[in-house]
Amino acid sequence: MTDEMSEVRTRFAPSPTGNLHVGGAHTALFAWLFARHEGGKFVLRIEDTDEVRSTEESLQAIYDGLKWIGIDWDEGPDVGGPFEPYVQSERLELYDQQFDRLMDSGRAYRCFCTPEELQQQREIMQARGIPPRYEGPCRNYDEKQIQTLLAEGKPYCVRFRVHESGTTVVDDLIRGEVSFDNSLLGDFVIRKTSGYPTYHMAVVVDDHLMDITHVIRAEEHLANTPSHVQLMEALDFERPQFAHLPLILGPDRTKLSKRHGSVNLLDYRDQGFLPEAMRNFLAIIGWSPGAEQEILGLEELIQKFTLDNVSKSPGIFDLEKATWLNGEYLKTADADYLTDLLVPMLQEEGLIEGDLSPERREWLERVVDLMKERTRLLNDFVVWGRYYFTEDFPYDNRARKKWLRREDVPERLDMLAERIEKMENWDLASIEQVIRGLADDIDVGAGKIIHPCRAAVTGQTIGPSLFHLMELLPKESVVARLRRAAELGRAGEMEPLPDVEE
RNA sequence: GGCCCCAUGGUCUAGUGGUUAGGACUCCGCUCUUUCAAGGCGGCGGCACGGGUUCGAUUCCCGUUGGGGCUACCA
């Protein structure tokens, strides 16, 4: 860096052509963490130079995705900043100024080739085993020929004239020096026929104009970088520092795509992930704090993040691990916070209706506190905890096989129901006392009552402490459930269901 | 095909010119006995291969293999 006071400035520059991709979120997170760690600025710039695919909805999806995992931006289309505008389609005249400079210096030229002609040229070169680079006629037209074509009104794009020999060396903070043979680079298009800049031009111009100090982006851009570097030199721009991040791959080791499940970050919210867990997970793909610690909160991430702990090799999006991590966050999360997230999900399932009374809300938080220890996704609360909210819950096959279909169970359930019905205090100690008391009286182990009771009351063989969960259910409901299970058992209705997962 | 990047268990990774190569996920076993998809304990499993350099390479160099990326008027 130079001697002058230079603040770190990084950016995330997505194209609004879809949802925020998991890979994009990863890149954004790293660029953001770096800026925050360095006390610098993080810029959001929208690269909508693909006139065909860019959409407004997509822009919103990007905002939503970034915000979800807690990434904020100091400058951007919605918040403004000293380098406005932050949307490339609104910066066309800025690129035109640079095109003019390049044309004047002879580093750029008009290309009148049609897409068909280009395609043909490519095929010929490929067939001859030559690297497909532009070698068409346009790079050598003289002024007169150009004027003629212009007069004819032939459409054209603008190409950048790359060096024909020599080497371009890219100094990458993660990979070290990487060199590229210039003769392999083709004259690439920098201005489309439409007048829009291509990505290569726009990114170089904007990174310079916006004083970006560190270009942090995915590795797929590494091979484009020598082109960018030549452009910068031709334009007399100072080079930023480069850091090319490892890619995220699917379990089959190809670039993460729809085939591997969802690539839309926000789908994971819908699948029951907590934003802090997803952020943590994304952070430890391709980066590690160096210590034997994987669970890191926001402040820790910012504090510990450095580029030299970023790995060079690609990482795999391991949903198992993400799910585990989510479970860890769930365990320690506040019931209040989780309840806020859960209410809409429960409403959607029809398990709660309308607004919660303060008492009901308090009750829900107790349920959440009881359940969160053994959940891994928010949805687990809804699926495994269904019995807290409705009498209409299924008896799973394990519960049926292990307890509910047994001959001696209905009688015990009825006996328990009878005793519970007579209880005056509905609290933890009393519940435990009644259950253990029954076991003692009929001279069986406590488990022989506890397990069938759990199966009858929850339909499951697993779950939180039975006494605790019973306490959260109305006494009448527990009695009814015990009797219903006993009845169904006697009627032979508790046989395992075919084709049902256990 | 060409160019570029990468390579520690199945996965994410720590680490070193001499280590019993450490941790996490997953899987398995044991335990807790009020269940487990919870907790506790333990286990299986790794430096891709071949050459060098070196007294000694997982570590440094070269090659091979494998994987990935780029090779658009997409970004």
What is the bridge-based pairing of β-strands A315-316 and A248-249? parallel
- The mean pLDDT of A337-344, rounded to a whole number, is 96
* Nucleotides of strand B within 7 Å of the protein's CB atoms: 1-8, 10-15, 22-26, 33-38, 67-75
Confidence of residue A136 (pLDDT cuts 50, 70, 90): confident
- Taking the C1' atom of every nucleotide in all shown strands and the CA of A375, the nearest one is B37
Q: What is the pLDDT of residue A355?
A: 87
Q: What is the pLDDT of residue A499?
A: 60
Q: How far, in Å, CA of A50 to CA of A456, rounded?
A: 59
Q: Distance, angstroms, CA A462 to C1' B53? A: 61
- The mean pLDDT of A81-88, rounded to a whole number, is 97
Task: Given the residues A258, A331, A401, A475, select the one marked as catalytic.
Answer: A258
Beta bridge partners, A21, equal A264
pTM of the model: 0.93
- The mean pLDDT of A421-427, rounded to a whole number, is 94
Identify whether A258 is a catalytic site residue: yes
Amino acid A482 reads L
Q: Distance, angstroms, CA A374 to C1' B30? A: 21
Tell me the ipTM for this assembly.
0.94
* Span A241-292, pLDDT tens digits: 999 999 998 888 877 878 787 889 999 999 999 999 999 999 999 999 887 7
Closest residue, by C-alpha, to the C1' of B71: A132
Q: Distance, angstroms, CA A173 to C1' B57? A: 27
- Taking the C1' atom of every nucleotide in all shown strands and the CA of A221, the nearest one is B70
Beta bridge partners, A176, equal A172
Helices of type H across A222-318? 225-235, 265-270, 275-283, 298-304
Any idea what DSSP says for residue A394? P
Q: Which residue has the higher pLDDT, A116 or A422?
A: A422
Q: Distance, angstroms, CA A403 to C1' B29? A: 26
Task: Report the Cα A141 to chain-centroid distance in Å.
Answer: 49
